[in-house]
Chain A
Amino acid sequence: MLMEDNPGELWVDQGKDLFHAKRGPKNVSLEQCDFGLGTGKLDGAAARLPRYFSDTDRVEDLESRLLTCMTRLQGFDRDQLISSAISAPASKGSDIEALALYITSRSNGMKVNVSLDHQKEREMYKAGEYLFYRRSGQTDFGCVQCHGEAGKRIRLQDLIHMTSKAGAQEVASSWPAYRGSHYVVRTMQWRLNDCVWQMRLPDLKYATDYSIALTTFLNRQGNDALIQVPGFKR
């Protein structure tokens, strides 16, 4: 296990401080944010994301839920949050990256448990499944072209076999992760952005339903995996 030596641990404490600090134009902490289990209840909350939230009437993943609370509760500007959400390599990282890691770490050792009880969760799941197989662009790629078989690599990079239970579980339980070649913590949204870039598609916007749908599909397939973050990626 790389966990003990994982430099991503540094961001956990940073995220904890950010979570409890009074911040933003409204000068309040995120303690009043409901991540699905009630205000301020973090233990096990990330394990159940994405999920439906009645206050927004939407299915949200961790990053979109953070945006919701940071804008509604703390008064931050959404566009500004998004423009700094994905940090530069070898930087201090972004607030959202640290917060996402801290909140997910509060589910460490717990099982991924995405339920599809709400109608909108089912719609999101089915859309994510559709998008996983949707081919387009110069390379004719959907997700499944690289992630549909076991033991495959692009050059020397191992590809996760996401249509297997074990592969989906790896996805669902290891983000946010410290990325060794970037020297920062990366989130699931970053992972999707980078895939889309390699697929030769245009720039993926932050926290849209496209990402939430794919994350709902993959995390649901990954149910029962034990969460252990920060993950460690090449």
Chain B
Amino acid sequence: MNNMLKSLLGGIVAALIAGCATYPDDVTTRQAAEQMVLDAFAAAPEHLKRLQQDRSQQICSKVGQQQLTGEEAAEVVKLARAAIKYPVSGNIVGDWKTGDALAHDGAGDRIRDGKIEDRKENGGLCQNCHALAPGEINVGNVGPALTGYGKQRGNSEAVAKYTYEKIYNAWIYFPCSNMPRLGATGHLTPEQVAHMVAYLLDPQSPINK
């Protein structure tokens, strides 16, 4: 009896001690974590800007990848639509050979020792995550395969417009998808996006062979 009482009391004491530590609420966690971001990076102000989230990034950072509410999804789409830009020339289908090179270029815009890597222009990053022309081995699979993209969809004006917008800002069609908003964040220029549209759609492009 005495032993039972002891173990019972021990259990209560243990529960009380464990009870002292609690998980902070979401607002407190957010404040603490955002302060950690501010403290963790050494950079010039123009580079530190990259750490500030825009409204869409905030919405798209849900812990545990919880589903967006309808309102949140609509806001992300609206923001994406509002910020889209097209090439000055008005031509959203550029040169497929230039686009081919861009699609296979995974570099550009990285910062080391306070300096952005020295390049004429940023790569398109496609190959990092997508299968491209048939037979290419060194391709990622985080995103869907784009092999035969134009062959399957044709190269109508509507397809070209969709493809341009999808690359420029994927969140127009898929709010908060894993795909970077390559044009909208400034990683690529509208002209570069147009070249990649040509790479995806042109019947002569290796991706459609």
Chain A residues at the B interface, C-beta cutoff of 8 Å: 116-119, 121-123, 125-127, 129-142, 144-146, 148-149, 151-156, 159, 163, 197-198, 200-205, 208-211, 213
Q: Report whether B36 and A208 are in contact in the complex, using a CB–CB cutoff of 8 Å.
A: yes
Closest chain A CB from B18 CB (angstroms): 7
Q: Report whether B51 and A137 are in contact in the complex, using a CB–CB cutoff of 8 Å.
A: yes
Please, how many angstroms separate the alpha-carbon atoms of A125 and B187 in the complex? 32
Please, how many angstroms separate the alpha-carbon atoms of A145 and B17 in the complex? 38
Q: Report whether B53 and A204 are in contact in the complex, using a CB–CB cutoff of 8 Å.
A: no
Closest to A137 in B: B50
Q: Report whether A209 and B178 are in contact in the complex, using a CB–CB cutoff of 8 Å.
A: no
Smallest CB-CB A-B distances: 10 pairs: A202-B43, A210-B40, A127-B33, A208-B40, A130-B33, A137-B50, A139-B180, A126-B29, A138-B187, A202-B47
B142 beta carbon closer than 8 Å to chain A: yes
Please, how many angstroms separate the alpha-carbon atoms of A131 and B32 in the complex? 10
Q: Known contacts A201-B41, A202-B50, A205-B42: does B113 contact A126 (CB below 8 Å)?
A: no
Residues of A within 8 A of B178 (CB): 145, 148
Residues of A within 8 A of B42 (CB): 202-203, 205
In-complex Cβ contact of A138 among B37, B41, B114, B180 (8 A): B180
Q: Report whether A138 and B43 are in contact in the complex, using a CB–CB cutoff of 8 Å.
A: no
Contact with A along B131-175 (1 / 0, CB 8 A): 000000111111000000000000000000000000000000000
In-complex Cβ contact of B64 among A119, A133, A145 (8 A): A133
Q: Known contacts A123-B29, A152-B141: does B43 contact A210 (CB below 8 Å)?
A: no
In-complex Cβ contact of A205 among B41, B60, B141, B187 (8 A): B41
**Most chain A Cβ neighbours within 10 Å, of B17, B30, B142:** B142
**Chain B residues numbered 45-73 whose CB sits less than 8 Å from any CB in chain A:** 47-48, 50-53, 57, 60-65
Q: Report whether B61 and A138 are in contact in the complex, using a CB–CB cutoff of 8 Å.
A: no
Closest chain A CB from B79 CB (angstroms): 13
Residues of B within 8 A of A139 (CB): 125, 180, 185, 187
Please, how many angstroms separate the alpha-carbon atoms of A154 and B178 in the complex? 13
Interface stretch (choices B83-91, B92-100, B103-111, B190-198): B103-111
Q: Report whether B111 and A119 are in contact in the complex, using a CB–CB cutoff of 8 Å.
A: no
Q: Report whether A200 and B64 are in contact in the complex, using a CB–CB cutoff of 8 Å.
A: no
Please, how many angstroms separate the alpha-carbon atoms of A116 and B19 in the complex? 11
B2 beta carbon closer than 8 Å to chain A: no
